[in-house]
Copies of this chain bind each other. A is one copy, B any other.
């Protein structure tokens, strides 16, 4: 986290009158987070900056602009400083107590409209004021302003606020993670292993394979594409070994066997757990496989409804591998498409597909829902790697996830 420069973090400003509860909202948001790096005290006139990892959204910088409804000379200075904050925001939260919207909020809104900054209205203190503000709701809906009802004190509405934040995050921030271009650099080579079985689309490749090739080219690197049967010959053919071999999860064991141990190896599905979701969160989720016991229910979630290969993996292979690995009598339930159950409390684990046909925003939203319900979530590729005993190797290309796994293992052995 310390590696993320301030400028690359998502900047979220928190605005509102004094006593609207801005700080308590911020505290509720940051609760359960990995850490708050800096909690520097601002002067009374300075906005307070709080860089943090808002999981699974990534690194954000909250800027708390307390009390700009002050009167007098000090107030004018604060307003000036707040204006400068506005200029660098990605999202603005306007926090109000109950329905207390007046000319001050109109003024703020005007500033954000001028700057085309996405705004979320946080209606706080529902514990005191209730949740029925039909006049305010009508006004916000007319202005097309998204709003969330929150009680920071009771910590209700916090998941909804996070989901709403995720929806408002500019696409650049959500999609900035490269597929593989940060692993394979200028002049290096990656080998992609693409099995051609009856599930492969006629005369083509599937989208994540094409996207990975493109990302390698964008990185000024060379990309070799082979079937699993040709991998050994391809490795033999190169004067310099490739930086990494990436395989379809289904060929994991053969590819692991054919790739010398000093060459990185992983699967498309692990690359896309990072690209399209949150790898660390899913690594944590994968470890919950060890806690599974007979009678546990597992939700297998597929983002699209039409991919024939997914059915085979999700309905047959993963249940079989998991049952073999755990030795437990497990129950599997399947969902497809955009419906993710709001109540996950009956599940011990969620296993998501590679999510190649959905977007990162949707996967992050599902991870948030799982986190809020304290249900671990993983994906197909990680589950397969774990069941087959090649989890550590598949994580090695990803420092942060590999370190997490190694530290945890060390912790368990001590």
Q: Which residues of A contact B (CB under 8 A)?
A: 187, 189, 194, 196, 203-205, 207, 210-211, 213-218, 220-227, 229-230, 233-234, 236-240
Known interface pairs A194-B217, A225-B223, A238-B238; A233-B187 also in contact (CB < 8 Å):
yes
CB distance from A76 to the nearest CB of B (A): 46
Instruction: Report Cα–Cα, A234/B225, bound state, in Å.
Output: 13
Selected contact of A225 from candidates B196, B225, B238, CB within 8 Å: B225
A selection of 21 A-B contacts at a CB cut-off of 8 Å is A187-B230, A187-B233, A194-B217, A196-B214, A196-B217, A196-B218, A203-B214, A204-B214, A205-B210, A205-B213, A216-B225, A221-B230, A222-B224, A222-B225, A222-B234, A222-B237, A223-B224, A224-B224, A236-B239, A237-B238, A238-B238
Residues of chain B within 8 A (CB-CB) of A207 are 204
Instruction: Report Cα–Cα, A238/B215, bound state, in Å.
Output: 22
CB distance from A123 to the nearest CB of B (A): 38
- Chain B residue, CB-CB nearest to A213: B225
CB distance from A44 to the nearest CB of B (A): 47
Are A210 and B220 neighbours in the complex by a CB distance under 8 Å? no
Are A204 and B211 neighbours in the complex by a CB distance under 8 Å? yes
Residues of chain B within 8 A (CB-CB) of A194 are 217
Number of copies: 2
Apart from A222-B225, A222-B230, A237-B239: 20 A-B pairs, beta carbons within 8 A: A187-B230, A187-B233, A196-B217, A203-B211, A204-B207, A204-B210, A204-B214, A205-B210, A213-B225, A220-B230, A222-B226, A222-B237, A223-B224, A223-B225, A225-B225, A237-B238, A237-B240, A238-B238, A238-B239, A239-B239
Residues of chain B within 8 A (CB-CB) of A214 are 196, 203-205
Selected contact of A223 from candidates B217, B226, B229, CB within 8 Å: B226
Residues of chain B within 8 A (CB-CB) of A227 are 217, 220
Residues of chain B within 8 A (CB-CB) of A230 are 187, 220-222
- Chain B residue, CB-CB nearest to A223: B225
Instruction: Report Cα–Cα, A218/B227, bound state, in Å.
Output: 9
Residues of chain B within 8 A (CB-CB) of A222 are 224-226, 230, 233-234, 237
CB distance from A272 to the nearest CB of B (A): 13
CB distance from A368 to the nearest CB of B (A): 25
Ranked nearest first, the 5 interchain pairs of A and B with the lowest CB-CB distance are A223-B225, A224-B224, A222-B234, A222-B226, A217-B227
Are B233 and A215 neighbours in the complex by a CB distance under 8 Å? no
Residues of chain B within 8 A (CB-CB) of A203 are 211, 214-215
Are A217 and B226 neighbours in the complex by a CB distance under 8 Å? yes
Most buried by B among A226, A229, A236: A226
CB distance from A186 to the nearest CB of B (A): 9
CB distance from A215 to the nearest CB of B (A): 7
Are B225 and A217 neighbours in the complex by a CB distance under 8 Å? yes
CB distance from A192 to the nearest CB of B (A): 9
Instruction: Report Cα–Cα, A136/B223, bound state, in Å.
Output: 61
- Chain B residue, CB-CB nearest to A224: B224
Residues of chain B within 8 A (CB-CB) of A187 are 230, 233
Instruction: Report Cα–Cα, A205/B225, bound state, in Å.
Output: 14
Instruction: Report Cα–Cα, A265/B205, bound state, in Å.
Output: 24
Residues of chain B within 8 A (CB-CB) of A217 are 194, 196, 225-227
Instruction: Report Cα–Cα, A221/B189, bound state, in Å.
Output: 18
Instruction: Report Cα–Cα, A223/B205, bound state, in Å.
Output: 13
Instruction: Report Cα–Cα, A123/B214, bound state, in Å.
Output: 54
Instruction: Report Cα–Cα, A226/B186, bound state, in Å.
Output: 11
